[in-house]
A and B are shown apart, each in its own frame.
Chain A
Amino acid sequence: EDKVVQSPLSLVVHEGDTVTLNCSYEVTNFRSLLWYKQEKKAPTFLFMLTSSGIEKKSGRLSSILDKKELSSILNITATQTGDSAIYLCAVGGGTSYGKLTFGQGTILTVHP
């Protein structure tokens, strides 16, 4: 059974801090690892990491895939209150194309 575990489950920081969110996985036939941000409604796509693209960066957010350790981190530098959200990690693999297994999510709260 595929499994994705995120840590920490929740995190409270102040504006300007740097945070690191963790995601570890056990999945058959790994294909991709995805990060999503969820505010009050639909999760929105952040990054996708694959064997051919293990590092992604967009503004203050960056993510790295460690295929040896079966894990990924999502870094957010100079956090802002608008970064407050649930961050979801999902892994695609197994025998069914397109199916994702999600972790529990990390609730990030950024105080002014």
Chain B
Amino acid sequence: DVKVTQSSRYLVKRTGEKVFLECVQDMDHENMFWYRQDPGLGLRLIYFSYDVKMKEKGDIPEGYSVSREKKERFSLILESASTNQTSMYLCASRQGGRVNEQYFGPGTRLTVT
């Protein structure tokens, strides 16, 4: 069974803080993704990574950065958290190739006050 884990289920941070969200997958997947999920908007892609040290912007990258130093780990960084980044953050991974489903972690609910 594919397992994707995220470092925290719930996180509360203050405006201006630097926030790190960690994601680890145990299936040697090439591709990893970070989404945020907001009511009525569905899942929106922030960043994704094809392989180690490779990253590409998704649809809403502003205010975020990522790091992938090891294949199994993909980190999302909020350089200076703002209240509009309060959201559910979901990490996913998939095997490389033309057509493969993504497997999701349990999510981190981040509140920025």
Which residues of A come within 8 Å of B, CB atoms?
A: 4, 6, 9, 31-32, 34, 36, 41-45, 48, 50, 88, 90, 92, 96-105
The 8 Å CB contact of B31, one of A9, A90, A98, A104, is A98
A88 surroundings in chain B (CB, below 8 A): 42-43
Interface of A, secondary structure class, is strand
Return chain B residues, CB-CB under 8 Å to A31.
98-99
The 6 closest A-B pairs by CB, nearest first: A42-B104, A102-B43, A104-B42, A102-B42, A98-B31, A41-B106
Cα–Cα distance between A19 and B105 once the two chains are bound (Å): 28
Say whether, besides A31-B98, A31-B99, A98-B100, A105 and B107 are in contact (CB < 8 Å): no
Residues of B within 8 A of A34 (CB): 101-102
CB within 8 Å of A: which residues of B? Answer: 4, 31, 33, 35, 40-45, 48, 50, 56, 58, 90, 94, 96-107
Query: Quick one: closest B residue to A35, CB to CB?
Result: B101
Question: How many angstroms from the CA of A36 to the CA of B94 in the assembled complex?
Answer: 15
Chain B residues within 8 Å of A50, by CB: 99
Q: Let me know if B105 and A42 touch, CB within 8 A.
A: yes
With A50-B99, A90-B43, A104-B40 known, 13 other A-B pairs at CB within 8 A are: A41-B107, A42-B4, A42-B90, A42-B107, A43-B43, A43-B90, A43-B104, A45-B102, A97-B96, A100-B102, A101-B45, A102-B42, A104-B42
